[in-house]
């Protein structure tokens, strides 16, 4: 359906109105029968949506059409960005755990529940 979005944007730019009519029957697409076919279809859809980046820069398109294309692009672009965030946060958390760095309390002292130090060496008050 990504090509329909581009065609609708060009029709609007030419002065025509386009409408989405959800109750029209007779048009359908079969679900892929296996994972390989599903992945191939998803790759084609991703490629089509990512090609909208080039179309979005054309002059004369309505801002709403540009936004519609951007949502299609972000639908596929956010997955790799989310994966990068997960990897980076996992690495930083692992480094913090290995190095035993505490962000909330930089100086560690052993304190009793009453707030007095339990160490025999003179230490800062808790």
- Residues 38-80 have pLDDT tens digits of 999 989 988 988 899 999 999 999 999 999 999 989 988 898 8
- Position 39 in a domain: yes
The encoded tokens of residue 112 equal 């009793």
Is position 60 within any domain? yes
User: Which phi and psi (to 5°) does residue 64 adopt?
Assistant: -70, -35
pLDDT value of position 4: 85
Q: What share of the chain in percent tops pLDDT 70?
A: 77
The reply to whether 91 falls in a domain is: yes
The total number of structural domains that make up the chain: 1
How far apart CA 116 and CA 16 sit, in angstroms, is 78
Domain hosting residue 89, numbered range: 2-99
Percent helix, strand, coil in the chain, to 5, is 55, 0, 45
Confidence of residue 110 (pLDDT cuts 50, 70, 90): low
Residue 115 within any structural domain of the chain: no
What token pair was written down for 52? Answer: 């909208």
Q: Tell me, yes or no, whether 20 lies in a domain.
A: yes
The rounded Cα 88 to chain-centroid distance in angstroms is: 15
What is the token pair recorded at 53? 């980046």
121 assigned to some structural domain: no
Confidence label for 111 from pLDDT (cuts 50, 70 and 90): low
Q: Which pLDDT does position 76 carry in this prediction?
A: 87
Does residue 116 fall inside a structural domain? no
């Amino acid at each position: 359906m990504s090509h329909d979005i581009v065609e609708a944007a060009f029709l609007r730019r030419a002065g025509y109105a386009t409408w989405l009519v959800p109750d029209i029957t007779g048009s359908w697409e079969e679900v892929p029968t296996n994972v390989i076919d599903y992945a191939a279809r998803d790759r084609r859809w991703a490629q089509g949506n990512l090609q909208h980046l080039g179309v979005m820069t054309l002059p004369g398109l309505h801002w709403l059409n540009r936004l519609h294309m951007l949502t299609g692009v972000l639908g596929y672009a956010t997955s790799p960005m989310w994966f990068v965030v997960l990897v980076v946060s996992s690495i930083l958390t692992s480094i913090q755990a290995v190095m035993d760095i505490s962000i909330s309390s930089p100086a560690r002292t052993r304190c009793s529940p009453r707030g007095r130090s339990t160490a025999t060496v003179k230490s800062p008050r808790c």
